[in-house]
Chain A
Amino acid sequence: MRLSKRAKIILRACVGLALTFIYIPLLVILVEAFNSSRILKWPPPSFTFHWFGQAVESESAREALVTSIEAGAVAMLIAVVLGTLISLAVGRRHFFGRDTISFLVVLPIALPGIVTGVAFSNTFTQVLGISLSLMTVIIGHATFCIVVVYNNVVARLRRSSGSFEEASADLGADPWQTFRWVTFPSLRSALGAGALLAFALSFDEIIVTNFTIGAGEETLPIWIYHNLFRPKELPIVPAVAVILILLSIIPVYLAHRLSSDDGGLTPGRGAAARASAPAAIAEAEATAAH
């Protein structure tokens, strides 16, 4: 598409503005992490690495990090297994109610976190009589983690059509051999990207977590939220936030790389895969807001 010079300038300005609004606040946090003052003052009077040391040494922060990783890892595992199975059913089989199932699986990502949170909290404590714990957090997280795995895998299945599976069967492979040697390898990168995004989603989730977590337990986002109101711990928060930003860049970057890797499909299909990667990340970020 050809654009006039004027249109190009305006579009560039829009992109610049959008990126500015996204990244200036992150920059503010980054600067505040090195702030020497006990209260978050702007501009910072001078700079120090002190809070990073404090953050690393903080027992509660370290525990919260481990809890977050546990929750993320288990939620991711559940999402990978269930998400893959559902996407294989929806992407490769024709059955009554297929579209409905697809819709119901994707829906949780659009539901407000507060609704999901209250719903789970009530169901666990009132209906099922289960006390809240890390396990209930994981179940809550898994509901929307499944969505990203499902979306990634089902998109890959749609692009590759069923002809690879047919070719495999035609060459004598039974359904299990076909899954092992053809279907799974062609899904591997999509699965990896979905898994990483699922982990990232769970890792920074706060609303559902807040409603489903047991007494005395904290994930890292909950820890940050609590410590914002404790003057003694307050200055560590930006430092922890910076560490978190660095940590969450890794899975998103890897997921991006994985979904760009077209696994040797034709160039046209590869381009489609590359185009869908930012979309998957945009979706993940939208849910992060949720």
Chain B
Amino acid sequence: MVAVAGIDLEIRAGEFFTMLGPSGSGKTTTLRMIAGFEDPTSGTIELAGRDVSGVPPYERAVNTVFQDYALFPHMTVADNVAYGLKVAKVDKAERGRRRDEALEMVRLPGYGERKPAELSGGQRQRVALARAIVNRPRVLLLDEPLGALDLKLREQMQSELKTIQGEVGITFVYVTHDQDEALTMSDRIAVFNDGRIEQVSTPEDLYEHPVNEFVADFVGVSNVIERDGERFTVRPEKIEVIAPGDSADGLRTERGRVTEVAYAGAVTRYTVALDAGGSLQLVRQNVGEAPGAVPEQGDEVLVGWRPQHAAAVRGKTTKEEVAP
């Protein structure tokens, strides 16, 4: 079985790089190849200009935050964090100083004497992070590190991770299947699909200009329609509902009927079935309009968007095509 088929990826020093994709798309395998747990059958992996293919994990200047944290259960938090330093034979005083510094950085000072079993999920996550960054690796690999946390904690850790990355200046390679996480945290994102990379770009470019239907679908909402043989996508927040009598100047418009209304607090999501075929999702801010001014289910509506907001997309990459 091929988990990853021919990828070509260059990650820049000091960047927060995310590998985004559904499970089984090859992102974790790629991460494990960088860490040295798996060997590519062909091709090379270079770290800071040095070919490290075939070099065992313990000789690579790379550290990993594992999905299940893999904290050593028989060691205290302090011993877990200092493990890499002990192995590297860093002297005792220096070891203690850097360990405390790392615990400070992940906001867990004074937790050193506890065992991992006595910590909450979020605290274990921080210990795993401290244990990795204490070694000052060139690259920190993070394998869905926030996957086991609840939503509130996850959002808090997202911003903390970003802050910590800024403080230590280490290259972060982050694996996730969560598009919001990827968009919020990353400098650049690689979208993985079926062992290939579909697109590598900045979050903004990825969202505004997806190169194909898979990316458009995976990063954001699937909003692809076909007109005159051209397939394109428009992001939901770029689509307006044009009130009768209002000007639709400069907009590309379509008529349709509201088939679904989903209230989500700050916004309401509408699905509109277009008369010319296909359907689009759109979002409106709930700014407190009069009840009559808000579209309801079954309403006939005119929707429109600026032409520059429509991004042409290729179909989903099939196996026969060569990966970009």
A residues in contact (CB < 8 Å) with B: 163-164, 166-174, 177, 181-182, 185-186, 262-267, 270
Contacts and interface: CB of A to CB of B under 8 A. Distances in A.
B263 interface: no
A223 to B, nearest CB: 42
A172 B70 contact: no
Contacts of A169: 36-37, 56-58
Given A164-B70, A170-B57, A264-B74, A177 B35 contact: no
B66 A167 contact: yes
18 contacts: A163-B70, A164-B73, A166-B57, A166-B66, A167-B71, A167-B72, A170-B64, A170-B132, A171-B135, A172-B58, A172-B87, A172-B135, A174-B58, A186-B73, A186-B74, A263-B74, A264-B115, A270-B117
A272 to B, nearest CB: 13
Interface string B32-47: 0001110000000000
Nearest to A184: B74
Contact of B84 (A164, A171, A185): A171
B229 to A, nearest CB: 50
Nearest to B82: A171
Interface in B113-127: 115-117
Interface string B53-76: 000111100111010101111100
Contacts of A172: 58-59, 84, 87-88, 135
Contact of A182 (B37, B63, B64, B72): B72
Contacts of A266: 73, 117
Given A169-B56, A170-B64, 5 more contacts: A169-B58, A170-B35, A170-B37, A174-B56, A262-B73
Contacts of A265: 73, 117
Contacts of B99: none
B83 interface: yes
A173 B58 contact: yes
Contacts of B68: 163
A186 to B, nearest CB: 6
Nearest to B128: A167
Contacts of A173: 58, 83, 87
A155 to B, nearest CB: 16
Nearest to B89: A172
A263 B75 CA distance: 9
B73 A263 contact: yes
A264 B116 CA distance: 7
B95 interface: no
A19 B87 CA distance: 52
In this complex, which of B70, B131, B135 has the most chain A Cβ atoms within 10 angstroms of its Cβ?
B70
Nearest to B134: A171
Nearest to A269: B73
Nearest to A182: B72
A270 B132 CA distance: 26
Contacts of A166: 37, 57, 64, 66, 70
Contacts of B66: 163, 166-167
A263 B73 CA distance: 7
Interface string B16-44: 00000000000000000001110000000
A172 B87 CA distance: 6
Nearest to A173: B87
Contacts of B37: 166, 169-170
Contacts of B57: 166, 169-170
B159 to A, nearest CB: 26
Q: 4 nearest interchain CB pairs?
A: A171-B84, A167-B70, A264-B73, A163-B70
Contacts of B131: 171
Contacts of A263: 73-74
B56 A185 contact: no
A182 B53 CA distance: 26
